[in-house]
Structure 1
Amino acid sequence: MLENWILTILVSVGVGSVLFMVALFVLLKNNVHAKIFWNEIVLEKITNFVMDQSKEQRILNSVSYNAVKGDPESVLDCIDKYCSQKEWAMNVGDEKGLILDNVVKEADPTTALELGTYCGYSAIRIARLLKPKAHLFSIEFNPEFVPIAKEIIEIAGLSDKVTILEGHAQDIIPQLKSKYDVDTLDFVFLDHWKERYAPDTILLEECGLLRKGSILLADNIIYPGAPEFLEYIRNHKRFECTNYPSHLEYMKVEDAMEKAVYLG
C-alpha cells in the first residue's frame, strides 16, 4: 500500500515536471516578454554568479579574443555572433544596424550624439562611417558599461572618433554647448530609456542643439515601445517622420525604428 502511494507521488511529480517544462518551452518560444525575462533575469544572473563576471564583460572577452584589432567590421561581427548564438544583449543588432548605417550616411554628420552607449556596438557602427574630422558624443549613465564600451571601441580603432560622457542625458545635454563646444547636432541616435525619448528630444530643442535638417533616429519604438515619443514627433510640424519596420535585435519579434528630420 505504501509502495503504491510512493509510486503514485513519484509519477505525479514526474508528469508535473514534464508538463512544466513543456509549458515553459512554449512560453519562451511564443512570448517575447518571457524570452527577455528568461535571458536577462534568469540565465544571465545564474551565469554571472557561476563565472563571477557580467555579461558585458563576457562580450568584451569575446571581442578581445576573436576580433581583429583596428577592424570595426570584425568587432561588429564578433558581437553579433556572440549575442545571436550565446547570450542575447540589447545592441541595435545587425538587421536594424543596416538601417542605422543608411540613416547615418544620409545625415553625413560632422557632430553626432548617441543616447545610450551600452557596450559601444552602435557607437562603432556610427563612428566607422564618419568623415575624417567628424565626431560622436555618446552618453551612458551606467558606470559599469562605460569602461567596457571604451575598450571595445578602442579595439575597433575608433577611440579618436568617439567621446563617451558618463551620466544622465538630461544632465549632460544642457552642457553640450558650453562644456563640449557643440554648436548643433547633425544626427542623434536615441537608444536609451524609452520613456526619456520624448523629454530628451524636447530638451535638445530647448537647448538649441537641433538645426534645420538635423536627423533623429529612434530604436525600439515597437518593443519595448516609445509611444510618447511617437506621439510628440508625429504630431508636430517641426518634424518629418519615416518609419522603418524591422525586428528586435537577434530575435524574430516585430520592432521598428523611427527617423525624424527636424524642419526648424
Structure 2
Amino acid sequence: MLESSSVLLFIVFVLLFLLLLFVVLVRKNGTAALIWNEIIREKITNFIMNQSKEQRILNFVLQNAVRGDPCSVMDTIDKYCSQKEWAMNVGCEKGLILDKTVEEIKPSVVLELGTYCGYSAIRIARLLKAGARLLTVEFNPEFAAIAKQMIEFAGVQDKVNILEGPSEEIIPQLKKKYEVDTLDFVFLDHWKDRYSPDTILLQECNLLRKGSVLLADNVICPGAPEFLKYIRNNPSFQCTNYPAHLEYMEVQDAMEKAVFLG
C-alpha cells in the first residue's frame, strides 16, 4: 500500500514538473505557446466554466470598459488578454503598426479578413475618416456574434459591416453584392493558409488598384511562409517587413506590408 502511494506521488510530481517546464517554454516558443493557450488551457477553462473564452472577453469588456469609447474597449481587451487569458487579437504592440498604416493610407474602403472578437475592426474603424467603411469577414458565427456586440459597444458600428462566411466565397461577391469598386486597404488576419490564395483572388476579382495596401499579421508565428514567398517574389508588390512579437507574449513575430503596384 505504501509502495503504491509512493509511485502515485512520484507520477504526480513528474507530471507537475513537466507542466511547469512546458509553461516556461511557452513564453519563448511560439508553437508551444499556441498549443498551451489555444488547445490545453482554453479547453480546460471552457469545460470548467461552461462558457467560451470569447464570451468571457466580451463580458469583461461590458463590465469594465466605457461604452462608446473605442480606446477604452481596446485597452480592456488588452488587459484581459495580457493578464487573464491569451487571445489572438492583433494586440497593442502590432496594433501600433496597424494604426500607423491606416493613418498613412487614409482609406475609404477597407477589407479585414478575420474579425474574431472585433478588436482590430474597432482599432481600424476609430481611425477612419467620415464616410469610410470597413468590411470585415468572419467564418465562425459565434465569433461574428461576439464581434457585433463588441463593435456596437465601442460605438463604431456605423463604419463596420460584418460579413459571415468563408473568405473565398465572400471576396468574389464584394463588387456586386457590397458595391465595392476597389479596396484601399486589406488587413489579413484569418487562416494563414488562406493569405496567399485570397491575395490572388483579390487580384483576379480586380479589387486592388495601384497603391492598394495589404497588411498581414502573424507571418512568423504561427507563420505564413507561402504568402511571404508569393508576395516577395511578385513584381506587382512592394514589400516591407515589421518585426514584432506575438500578441501578449515574448515570442518573435512580424507583420508584412505589401503595396500593390498595378
TM-score by length of 1: 0.94
Structure 2 partner of 1:261: 259
Structure 2 partner of 1:185: 183
Equivalent residues in 2 for 1:66-81, closer than 5 Å: 66-81=64-79
Aligned-pair distance for 1:11? 6.2
Task: Name stretches of at least 5 consecutive residues in structure 1 with no aligned partner.
Answer: none
Structure 2 partner of 1:222: 220
Query: RMSD over aligned Cα, in angstroms?
Result: 1.6
Equivalent residues in 2 for 1:60-209, closer than 5 Å: 60-209=58-207
Aligned-pair distance for 1:17? 4.6
CA–CA distance in structure 2, aligned partners of residues 17 and 189 of structure 1: 41
Structure 2 partner of 1:27: 25
Aligned-pair distance for 1:236? 1.2
Equivalent residues in 2 for 1:32-51, closer than 5 Å: 32-51=30-49
Structure 2 partner of 1:53: 51
Aligned-pair distance for 1:50? 1.8
CA–CA distance in structure 2, aligned partners of residues 36 and 83 of structure 1: 14
Deviation sequence 1:162-198 (CA, Å, 0-9, x none): 0000001110000000000000000000000011001
Alignment CA distance shift 1:20-1:199 (3 Å): closer
Structure 1 partner of 2:14: 16
Supply the AA of the counterpart residue of 2:249: M
CA–CA distance in structure 2, aligned partners of residues 114 and 159 of structure 1: 15
Alignment CA distance shift 1:238-1:30 (3 Å): closer
Deviation sequence 1:184-237 (CA, Å, 0-9, x none): 000000000011001100100010000000000000000111111111111111
Alignment CA distance shift 1:240-1:49 (3 Å): same
Supply the AA of the counterpart residue of 1:167: G
Task: Name stretches of at least 5 consecutive residues in structure 2 with no aligned partner.
Answer: none
Supply the AA of the counterpart residue of 1:241: C
Deviation sequence 1:97-154 (CA, Å, 0-9, x none): 0000000111110000000000000000110000000000000000111111010000
Q: Secondary structure at the match of 1:20?
A: helix
Count of equivalent residues:
262
Structure 2 partner of 1:243: 241
Aligned-pair distance for 1:26? 3.7
CA–CA distance in structure 1, aligned partners of residues 9 and 133 of structure 2: 65
Supply the AA of the counterpart residue of 2:110: A
Task: Please tell me whether the aligned partners of residues 171 and 201 of structure 2 are also in contact (alpha carbons under 8 angstroms).
Answer: yes
Moved more, 45-54 or 147-156: 45-54
